[in-house]
Amino acid sequence: MTWLRVEPNAEMREEQEAKMTITTKFTEMFGIEHPIVQGGMQWVGRAELVAAVANAGGLGFLTALTQPTPADLANEIAKTRELTDKPFGVNLTILPSINPPPYDEYRQVIVDAGIKIVETAGSNPAPHLPMFHDNGIKVLHKCTSVRHGVKAQSLGVDGISIDGFECAGHPGEDDVPGLVLIPAAAKQIEIPMIASGGFADARGLVAALALGADGINMGTRFMCTIESCIHQKVKGAIVAGDERGTELIFRSLRNTSRVASNAVAREVVEILSDGGQFEDVKNLVAGVRGRRVFDEGDLDAGIWTVGTVMGLIDDIPTCDELISSIVSEAEELIAGLNERVLHTQPRVHARELVHD
């Protein structure tokens, strides 16, 4: 279960309006200021974004496989360290791919570079844990179901990210939204747990804490920031889009992925719905085509991941502006709830109104 400590700032203390900081098991375990994470995102998790998140007090993750080679990852880590002296991590996602990358070499770079936080995703983290833990690295594992979270906990990961059906990328095959998934996981997870899928603002953070999480992970929201490297046309599409603007592809292949609804995604859905197999769509979903979307701004060049939370995004702030506003507004919401719920007059129960 989550725990939350709200601490008043003595310099600004006023009777009903105190400045507060939100401290959870997650911030304590991973050594960050705010319980807000920018998870790994292919073609997006680069030095400028990760450093900006870290400097704003959140936890950012470089995406290892965005870098063409392990040597490029080492260079990106060094570049990030030039931009921040705050904690940041590296995401290592292992998923089926047309040309599998050298995962062991990427893992070795992470260790050699002295990274202390790793986000694993896609497959069982067990093969990576001994090497990471032997080198003092904390592992945050992404899960899409309670059973996977419980399994990861039993393997010894240091924290989990529980991804609801709303999330971009791979939401799993159970189709359970966060409103149910987060509290269901909280009943069985004792290690720090962050919630992912559908989070973009202070209301989401407060809701996640209330549901039993220790923080939130945001992907799509961080894509749409000044420091995000993706093309301005993609950011504009996110701002202009709504919660209906995604497609679920690979459903029939049991490898569901949530992506933006564009011409390519709709063609993939149609081919697979008509009985097609992966070979029939392989060229349409190639990663190099998706990268063109982010690099060139051609929204129909390939598939690109985005979450239903697109419907909650209407601006392109800096990471500092985004994180600062989420935290300050969350503090106000928590204080307002305390005021409204704890300091109102006692309610009269219905049974007290019943006369003999």
Mean pLDDT of 153-182: 97
pLDDT for 315 equals 98
SS3 track for 27-43: HHHHCCCCCEEECCCCC
Q: What are phi and psi of 10, to 5 degrees?
A: -60, -35
Candidates 59, 57, 64, 66; CA nearest to 39 is 59
| DSSP label of 260 | E
Candidates 113, 115, 120, 226; CA nearest to 163 is 120
pLDDT for 2 equals 46
pTM recorded for the entire structure: 0.90
Q: What are phi and psi of 120, to 5 degrees?
A: -105, 155
pLDDT for 4 equals 54
Q: What angle do CA 289, 38, 62 make, to 5 degrees?
A: 60
* Distance (Å, whole) CA 257 – CA 239: 21
pLDDT above 60 for 83? yes
pLDDT for 104 equals 93
Mean pLDDT of 126-136: 96
Question: pLDDT digit string (tens) for 195-220?
Answer: 999 999 999 999 999 999 999 999 99
With H, G, I as helix, E, B as strand and everything else as coil, classify residue 333.
helix
* Distance (Å, whole) CA 345 – CA 195: 34
Residue 135, both tokens: 């080198």
Candidates 149, 151, 167, 184; CA nearest to 256 is 167
Q: Work out the pLDDT band at 278, boundaries 50, 70, 90.
A: very high
Report whether 326 contacts 339 (CB < 8 A).
no
Q: What is the mean pLDDT of the chain?
A: 91
Candidates 9, 189, 179, 41; CA nearest to 119 is 41
Mean pLDDT of 163-182: 97
Q: What are phi and psi of 152, to 5 degrees?
A: -60, -40
